[in-house]
Chain A
Amino acid sequence: MNWLLEPLAYQFMQRGLFASVIVGVLCAVMGTYVVLRGMAFLGDAMAHAILPGVAIAYLLQGNLLVGAGVAAVIVALSIGLFSREGVVKEDTAIGILFAAALSLGVALISSMQTYAVDLSHILFGNVLGVSSSDLWMIGILSLIILLTVAFFFKQFLVISFDPVLAATLRLPAELLRNLMLVLLALTVVVSLQTVGVSLAAAMLVTPAATAYLLIRRLLPMMLVSALIGALSSVIGLYLSYYLNIVSGSTIVLTATAFFLIAFLWKKMKSG
């Protein structure tokens, strides 16, 4: 039991553990929509697109999460704007904005003097550097996102499963779709600190895809996905501590291991 408790003697490890479990759960819940609506590319793009926001916040010495949040919401809404009424296909709009924002972010960061270290933190996360104010921010934002999902559960179900029914029920589909994009953007922002922008997309997709293999109903799928996300975060963080590996990678690799186990189980059951 000692090996379980030992890391928790450090305050930064406690905070890191809290932060990664919250992020694991949050990504897994939003990831359910990402997987079902085929938005994996969007999640990845959004994760990279917040880079300029982070860089500008860093240059202005403001809060990185706020900078990321502003950038993410701008990108989410621009994707909606460009692709509205099919002027540009959605994945094309995503591709353009993704590349532009990433380039802008790299340009800004490379102009800073100490960029090497900071860039790797932004890209891969620095869960052990979570301050207690960061943790509050992560907690509050996550709570807001999860409550919004709970409030709009029915509406999100209808617009995801059957847009035509949404139209006959006179749901404001456009508004709900944008709300979902904003929630997704905020989720990526929250996961910035723990897994970093380059691995956030994996945390959005992998636990939800694993749950999708096991469960055939939306709410249970979401809960199982959340459980897998939380477990991956805890196991991944311990692996990171003992093997001295970047925590973002160990968390994502643990989630991937869960996916492979579920995939093999499914294969064996059907074959």
Chain B
Amino acid sequence: MPHTPHRLEIENISIGYGDKIILQDLSFQVPHGARVAVVGPNGAGKSTLFKALVGILPLKSGKIFIHGESLGAHKDCVAYVPQREDVDWRFPVTVSDVVMMGRFGQIGWWSNPSKKDKQIVRRSIEQMGIADLTDLSIGQLSGGQQQRAFLARALAQEPHILLMDEPFTGVDATTQEVTFGLLDHLREKQVTSIISTHDLNLAASRFDLVLLINHRLIAFGTPKQVFTKEHLAGAFGNSLLVMEDGMMLVDECCPPEEEHHHAEVK
């Protein structure tokens, strides 16, 4: 993998709101088709990083390159699966409406969806196992089904880079496996995926690379390289407990709407 061209290059970026800097001087490079877990304590700037990567939050400094060109040069090569609480579930759209929105980048401003677009939408919905829910409005679905609808949209977008913000928080086991199934499928297509998660076990066992941040870059590399005592202590500080046998416990307080969460890693 080191010899393939880098798909995503982050060069010394700083991001923040107003005068407040959330992420300082971050640099890393993600190769072709890699699966990256973004981990760090709450408020470390994971969502902020994603907002910068999709281009809704301007950079204070630094540069983002995709395929060697600056962010924004390519249309719709980044797909984003939003965090659950960022979606208005009462909005009057059906599952197929949501997935079709993923095609809008290809469809052109004043044209109707083509046969091909409709086909891609149908296939994406089938692949996520929600074909029988196509015409239901999104508010009628369960949490896991809602997430799969958004995964289907990301699939229909045919992205080069897929961003997912906390897709494993509060979803059922089926949805988690469907999500990893999608990630495997996308890896075959050389799609790079960048996923934030609280679950350090998942990050350690099912990802190629881990990006550990806490307002700055703590470590970036394979799970083995990243999950060391020093790095975790650097990211989680006092909420890290090291046991005698080498087991480490991370106790971190989640946002109020989530349950209290224990993640551990060996």
- Chain A residues packing against B (C-beta within 8 Å): 36, 86, 151, 154-155, 157-158, 160-165, 167-170, 212, 215-218, 221
- Interface of chain B residues 133 through 149 with chain A (CB within 8 A): 137, 139-140
Proximity bits, B222-236, A CB within 8 Å = 1, else 0: 000000000000000
Contact B56 A151 (CB under 8 A): no
Contact A217 B137 (CB under 8 A): yes
Contact B92 A221 (CB under 8 A): yes
- Chain B residues packing against A (C-beta within 8 Å): 18, 51, 54-56, 72, 75-76, 78-80, 82, 86-88, 91-94, 97, 101-102, 104-105, 107, 109-110, 137, 139-140, 157
Contact B101 A157 (CB under 8 A): yes
Bound-complex Cα distance A86 to B20 (A): 14
- Least Cβ distance of B127 to chain A in Å? 20
Contact B104 A160 (CB under 8 A): no
Contact B139 A218 (CB under 8 A): no
- Least Cβ distance of B9 to chain A in Å? 18
Is chain A's binding surface mostly helix, strand, loop or mixed?
helix
Residues of B within 8 A of A151 (CB): 110
- Least Cβ distance of A207 to chain B in Å? 15
Contact A162 B87 (CB under 8 A): yes
Bound-complex Cα distance A164 to B72 (A): 14
Contact B104 A36 (CB under 8 A): no
Contact B109 A155 (CB under 8 A): yes
Contact A162 B82 (CB under 8 A): yes
Residues of B within 8 A of A158 (CB): 101, 104
- Least Cβ distance of B155 to chain A in Å? 14
Per a CB cutoff under 8 Å, which of A155, A170, A216 touches B92? A216
Listed from nearest, the 4 A-B pairs whose CB atoms lie closest are A216-B137, A167-B56, A169-B105, A216-B92
Bound-complex Cα distance A168 to B161 (A): 11
Contact B92 A165 (CB under 8 A): no
Contact A169 B75 (CB under 8 A): yes
Contact A168 B80 (CB under 8 A): yes
Contact A217 B54 (CB under 8 A): no
